[in-house]
Structure 1
Amino acid sequence: MAKGWRNYLWRLSNVFLLGFGHRYKERYAKYASLPIGEEQGWREENQKEWDRISVALALVIAVHAASLAISDVTLASWVCRALWYGGFGLALSGLVIISYITVSLFNLTDKEVDKAVQMHSEGRADMSLEIIASVGAMPIVLLLWSTAFVMTGLLILVFTVNYSQGAPVNAVPMRRFRILASVPTFVGVAAVIWVVIVVEGALRRAGTSHVPRDSYDKYDMTFTFNTAVDRSVQRGCDENAYVTPVTARVSRLARPNASPVGMGEPSRSGHAEQHRLTM
């Protein structure tokens, strides 16, 4: 019975997720089944995708702000303004989600993220892959909804604007206007709260809610973290190389002749531990 309700809620949520929930679920499931060693670089590619989405969200936010400043909007239907206000809130929420996830996972290794969300860890219930997929899909979904609101509002403006001489300014039914403008914003805020709850719960599960910083290495221009270094990979790398993908680019800029992070000779005495990133 519980499984049936779970499947029903998942299908229902995919209406809002525009089908991206299924796509991200398949992506994470495929990644989780990769053999050890073949997942190298996946986390960095995922971050690049979020970077592209964040740029698009910033552009959509600017478009919404510019649209609301159009003087002719008072001569068109009130619906276009309500849609632009609502889409503006959705785009801002998407940008907040990307920034929050990026900062939260910055100092975690693949192993630690896997510990946070891995299935059946130490006898505990697994974190549903659907939950992880809903969080991963949220930025692109909010971007698409916000863009749709921009386009719909623009079309309404084009077909309802009245340039006739002496045409009165269209009256605005305030109650309907507030409902149409505020509901998308509340949905965006709810999405942010959902992502925060899932990510914080995962971090507590991994025991990495608060990761202390060790020191600041001026030569490498990067922070080092005790708990953010995967020992199994570090044994196979140069002693000055870091395994965190975010700091790799900074380290290579500081020392152009340094070996790329993660490209050192594999350890011959140790067995590489399995790395998994499901978020």
Structure 2
Amino acid sequence: MDVFAAFIAPALAGVFVGVMSGLLGVGGGTIMVPIFRLAFGMSPLASTATSLFAIIPTSISGVVAHARAKTCVPKLGLALGVGGAVMSPMGVWLASVSPGWLVICVAAIVIGFSAFKMFKKAVKCAPTPRAGRAGGNVQAASAKAVPDQPVLSRKQYLQGACIGLIAGLASGYVGVGGGFIMVPLMLAVLDIPMSLASGTSLIAIMILAIPGVIEQGLLGNIDCLAGIAIVVGSIPGALVGARLVRVVPERQLRFIFGGFLLVAAVMLMLNEFGILG
């Protein structure tokens, strides 16, 4: 029973984390932080630090699959990641000097706001026409799910770097990859389709999380065993999630992402106020 609780259960949870990561372009921190707080009973700081640690291998797995499927914009992901890496250590420092409850509450508020924006965008999206009954129509619809690579200007790459700065600060502070900020902003500011934003976000997360993980490790805040247990499941899960991007319609992706964010925000707040025990 101890082995199941210490390793097998978190590994199974990691599969779900990985699928959502690859599908939605998030590092998985918005799921992992509640898991570490609720299932492992970690402190807020240890939960966010261990989540950040597990985010890197999860993101790498998703990036590999997205790159193969051409469902990402590599140069934009690099701009986002570099911007985020600059600010991530600042976020870690702010978290280390903040009360634990404040870190969790800020995470929940930001995640909840992102969920609202995602739902708003999803409602405005036109429903995807259903393909005909013939198998060829279904295949054609799936093939069109991923748009062509966008041609971005220098200004847009600069905007991407600025988005990365914001995401990096949030990543270091609340122990998440920053995808819950980058994906909505890429959709709103850069007009990047959701089917490309997911993979692009993972490229940035893979880069921007590194300084924060190093800093959290030096501070001794990471529970390596718990992090490794989650990663065992999240790596294959991320590969599956990245493949699903090609077949899930844009509107449904936005609704799934919004719902995922909303649940994570509510769970964090309920737990922090002792409602979940």
**Length-normalised TM-score, structure 2:** 0.29
Question: Which structure has more RCO (C-alpha within 8 Å, separation ≥ 6)?
Answer: 2
**Length-normalised TM-score, structure 1:** 0.29
Greater helix fraction, Structure 1 or Structure 2? 2
